[in-house]
Structure 1
Amino acid sequence: MALGTKIKDTLGAVAVMNRSGLVPFPRIDHGLSSILAVRKYGPFAGPVHAHAAAGLEADALVDERGPLTYRDLENQSNALVRAWRADGITTGTVMGAMCRNSRGLILTMLAAAKAGNKLVLMNTGFAGPQLVDVAAREKVGAFVYDDEFSSVAAALADDVLRYRSWPEAGTVSEVTTLDEAIESQSTSSLAAPSSPGGFVLLTSGTTGTPKGAPREHTSPLASAQFLDRVPLRRGQTMMMAAPAFHGTGVSQLALALALGQTVVMHRKFDPENTVRLVAENRCDSLVVVPTMLQRIVDLGPQTLAKYDTSSLKIIFSAGAAISPDLSKRTAESFGPVLHNLYGSTEVAVATVATPEDLAQAPGTAGRPPVTCHVHLYDDEGRRISTPDTVGRIFVSSGLSFAGYTDGRDKERIDGLLSTGDVGHFDRDGRLFVDGRDDDMIVSGGENVYPLEVENLLMDREDVLEAAVIGVEDAEFGHRLRAFVVSAPGVDRDAEEIKSHVKANLARYKVPREVVFIEELPRNATGKLLRNVLRDHD
């Protein structure tokens, strides 16, 4: 990257951090103390340590067991590190965690950072074989899990040390709980590790065993890319509905802690309960994945009107594309508050669509925030600069990973990392994601990206969700098959749906088959499992 671009990115990032309150002028000493703490303890434990030392009295976390202050998190994570050390967990031990959103997961994140341990964040949707495969590849030596995952955790090797993070009421087990471990240890300050512990985020694993995407140490300036186009501010309250083990939850949790916010969590997602918690806690922001947002909006005006959500300034969604229909319905339900981030586990942030972007160009992924750069390339690696021309999407971000834990990497061109998606820019510089590169269907010699057909179908009032796949066909190579989840109480008419597509898109984009199903198969982070649909009878 050119020196001039680096200087421009740095100055822009500092301006964003000042605007959000991360480095507040004129009291830059407060911001600098937090940055120094991040250098010592990492992006999670560092801000908690700095806020506790500064005497911040705000609640840091509110879960089903009640509130914890920043001082509580600091003290309890200190004690947990000592408990782990007493049990023989050293800096070189790789930790694993399979936990829902709760204090158990947060304390594990903080303690692993303070102890200098790498922490592998497991998907709560794992079955035993997947957990064993990932744990073996990442060399996990100690494991923290919620009681409900006991049977899954039992598949791990016997020499993996175990701790229960959220014990079920009335259960009896020889496995130590985090509460028990913390109670027996001192809460006094700890010396900083030689290097803060890092995270291993896992890819969605929609086509096999998830790959590990490690996140070691990044510049504090990288946080500006989340704050540039999303108005998160110091002292707000955030409702964390998205799973905190995934990139969306991890990134926003880190920002909330850095800004001294209060984070509200509930272990299991329920759409109405989420809205209730937003109202009761006067939350400024709500963090979701698109399937969660869909379920919230589907509650309907009558149910949503029961709760006062006027405090909500931000709905932050990431992890999948937002259809134009869902964007419109969200604005109708909550006002112009939706911010949609486009990125991936590997590249982190690519673009952010603001409410203004979504209103002016429904379906857009938005524009790159400060320090992020997005370019399109053709199949020969030549950069595409012409508006409305589809190309492969490549991203440069200060938070991009350096490669998978197994040594593999994604394609790189000119220092930019492939997202695996294709898309185009409009004439105003907004990015549109047309679909996954490997989801493209060639039917009768024409290229079809399923997302365009899916968005058209979901814009219908009688369709809740839709997914389109390619099915082998002797005449056309592939034909399109649409899977449709109908709205309650409507007549299912496959021919009418085909006619609707034919009236709005080219003939080769019309599904030859329409299959009605009760729900689309998704994993724990809301990713559509197209391989499951391909096996559908």
Structure 2
Amino acid sequence: MPGLRTRVTDTFGAVRVMVRSGLVPFPRLDRGLASIRAAGTYGPFAGAVHAHAVAGLDAVAIVDELGQLTYADLDRRSNALVRAWAADGITAGSVVGAMCRNHRGLVLTMITASKLGAKLVLMNTGFAAPQLVDVAAREQVRTLVFDEEFAAVAAALPTDVLRYRSWGERAETVAHLDDLIDGRSTDPVPTPSAHGSFVLLTSGTTGTPKGAPRERTSPLASAQFLDRVPLRPGQTMVMAAPAFHGTGLSQLGLALALGQTVVLQRRFDPLRAVELTADNRADVLVVVPTMLQRIVDLGPDVLSRHDTTNLSVIFAAGSAISPDLCRRTTAAFGPVLHNLYGSTEVAVATVATPADLALAPGTAGRAPVTCHVALYDDAGTRVTEPEVVGRIFVASGLSFNGYTDGRDKERIDGLLSTVDVGHFDRNGLLFVDGRDDDMIVSGGENVYPLEVENLLAEHPDVADAAVIGVEDAEFGQRLRAFVVAAPESDRDAQALETFVKGHLARFKVPREVVFVDDLPRNATGKLVRGALRDLDLPGD
């Protein structure tokens, strides 16, 4: 755990970043302090919206398929929804679930839950009915807000769970949020004794998603993003990443705190994301890496038809970005890519700026202010030498205090495990080599799939790739590569094996290459390796 001197330094550094970014504007520090006080009363989302509305900020807060809502609109409509929910018995301490795509209904649900002092569990929109039922039972969800398209999944919940629709046609059996708002007073509501909180869910790539609570957030935590990413007041942000996940949620909260306009993309489509960026003269585009891959794959002929010259930040997080994708993104949009490395549990670990990625494509960058990253070996001894692989541990003001089921991640010296391994180069840049539990032992040698996957991504015949270990009588495990072929490629497995052999050690060469139409990924774009292991292939 950082000592007193480090904590003091972190605090002053965070304040300096907040002033520099305009979150605490100089010389109008009173407005920044009023926003911080509102966040302490209502929570970071509701507090920011309320503070801007009270200050008379004449700006559009969000844009979705139904049009625009200003900060004052959001504040007033959430006041009406607070009254409606309170009349239905939702009070401080209630647990509300939300299974919603990116639109005004989700944002209003976030603000309303916070003003009521309720706990909001953000459900993955990719959940099937059994997952929703399991998570709702574990988290004690008694109310669910959901989009019309998820009605069949929501129907699996017990009948005593209160339900509201947030998007789609109005139904007689389930009240729509708009029905609850219409006709109710929009006057300010009483402040809660304690503002609401969020429960984020892990990706669930290794089992049932776990709940990671976010109960109290220091106003200084925003500096972790603003230190290395030039988000500023008055910008326009296109939110393509799902807001139920940490990437989208954090950037949505920052955008509202800065008084930005957020354009919400309800369903991701790569061409539509580019169109929204161009049409809105957006400064910021928020994506997960698989979205970025699909955008860049549109190619220069398509991308050149849309004016994205106002774009100054592409913010990507959620999984690793290959060196090839870093270079292609820069070629397509210029030096605008900012790659954040973290996790649901630790939040922010490092951020790679365009300068970092130009120096070392694929790097995870450096720790921003108030974040601390260290490597440890299997015995718990600190790794300090460059180019030496160790387990990654992080201390961050946004790190969680344990899962909702009572379990926790490993901690050393007050730092939290990311379950990844990596190394620092001689410039102090972090590289993530892969998940500790993804390591393949082949012929007594350790192989991390990400290195092989990144190399395969460099080949012109490869659109996407994943590598797993499968049982082998001679080597213990052998490497099997799953490849999504690029359009009009030769699908030559031998050529790909030869390509890897020319760049990596022999024990890192896949002994099999299997061509597939696509790779199994969850709603946030993370690879589900277990689904690859479960595939029935000839000869297995």
TM class by smaller structure = over 0.9
SS at match of 2:175: coil
Which runs of at least 4 in structure 1 moved beyond 4 Å after TM superposition? none
Shift of residue 202 of structure 1? 0.1
Distance in 2 between the 1:470 and 1:185 partners?
A: 59
Distance in 2 between the 1:481 and 1:95 partners?
A: 43
SS at match of 2:8: helix
Matches within 5 A, 1:199-210: 199-210=198-209
Distance in 2 between the 1:137 and 1:309 partners?
A: 44
1:27-61 deviations in Å (ceiling 9; x for gaps): 10010000000000001000100000000010000
Which residue matches 1:35? 36
8 Å Cα contact 1:83-1:184 kept in structure 2: no
Distance in 2 between the 1:430 and 1:490 partners?
A: 35
1:471-506 deviations in Å (ceiling 9; x for gaps): 011110000000000111111100010001111000
Distance in 2 between the 1:278 and 1:307 partners?
A: 9
Distance in 1 between the 2:94 and 2:183 partners?
A: 21
Shift of residue 444 of structure 1? 0.1
**Which amino acid in structure 2 is aligned with residue 520 of structure 1?**
L
Shift of residue 173 of structure 1? 3.3
Deviates more, 1:81-90 or 1:417-426: 81-90
Matches within 5 A, 1:152-301: 152-168=153-169, 172-301=171-300
1:299-352 deviations in Å (ceiling 9; x for gaps): 001111111000100000000000000000000000000000000000000000
Shift of residue 255 of structure 1? 0.3
Which residue matches 1:458? 457
Q: Please tell me whether residue 530 in structure 1 is matched to residue 529 in structure 2.
A: yes
Shift of residue 172 of structure 1? 3.6
Distance in 2 between the 1:42 and 1:509 partners?
A: 49
**Which amino acid in structure 2 is aligned with residue 174 of structure 1?**
T
Matches within 5 A, 1:33-432: 33-168=34-169, 172-432=171-431
RMSD: 0.6
Distance in 2 between the 1:88 and 1:242 partners?
A: 33
Distance in 1 between the 2:134 and 2:415 partners?
A: 30
SS at match of 1:342: strand
Shift of residue 428 of structure 1? 0.8
Matched-pair identity in %: 73
Shift of residue 184 of structure 1? 3.2
Shift of residue 25 of structure 1? 1.4
SS at match of 1:110: helix
Which residue matches 1:477? 476
Distance in 2 between the 1:318 and 1:216 partners?
A: 22
SS at match of 2:228: coil
SS at match of 1:140: coil
**Which amino acid in structure 1 is aligned with residue 276 of structure 2?**
L
Gaps in structure 1 of 5+ consecutive residues: none
Distance in 2 between the 1:369 and 1:148 partners?
A: 39
Which residue matches 1:11? 12
**Which amino acid in structure 2 is aligned with residue 516 of structure 1?**
F
Distance in 1 between the 2:123 and 2:139 partners?
A: 11
SS at match of 1:133: helix
**Which amino acid in structure 1 is aligned with residue 30 of structure 2?**
D
Distance in 1 between the 2:201 and 2:409 partners?
A: 14
1:149-181 deviations in Å (ceiling 9; x for gaps): 00000000100000000023xx64320000000
Distance in 2 between the 1:490 and 1:427 partners?
A: 38
Shift of residue 463 of structure 1? 0.6
SS at match of 1:504: coil
Distance in 2 between the 1:375 and 1:208 partners?
A: 27
1:264-316 deviations in Å (ceiling 9; x for gaps): 01210000001000011110000000000000000001111111000100000
SS at match of 1:514: strand
SS at match of 2:33: helix
Distance in 1 between the 2:430 and 2:521 partners?
A: 25
Shift of residue 7 of structure 1? 1.1
Distance in 2 between the 1:520 and 1:143 partners?
A: 31
Distance in 2 between the 1:396 and 1:451 partners?
A: 24
SS at match of 2:137: helix
Distance in 1 between the 2:150 and 2:223 partners?
A: 36
Which residue matches 1:500? 499
Paired residues, what number? 535
Query: Please, what TM-score do these two structures have when normalized by structure 2?
Result: 0.99
Distance in 1 between the 2:41 and 2:234 partners?
A: 23
Shift of residue 208 of structure 1? 1.5
Distance in 2 between the 1:375 and 1:71 partners?
A: 44
Query: Please, what TM-score do these two structures have when normalized by structure 1?
Result: 0.99
**Which amino acid in structure 2 is aligned with residue 5 of structure 1?**
T
Shift of residue 192 of structure 1? 1.1
SS at match of 2:510: coil
Shift of residue 92 of structure 1? 2.3
1:204-227 deviations in Å (ceiling 9; x for gaps): 001211000000111100110000
Gaps in structure 2 of 5+ consecutive residues: none
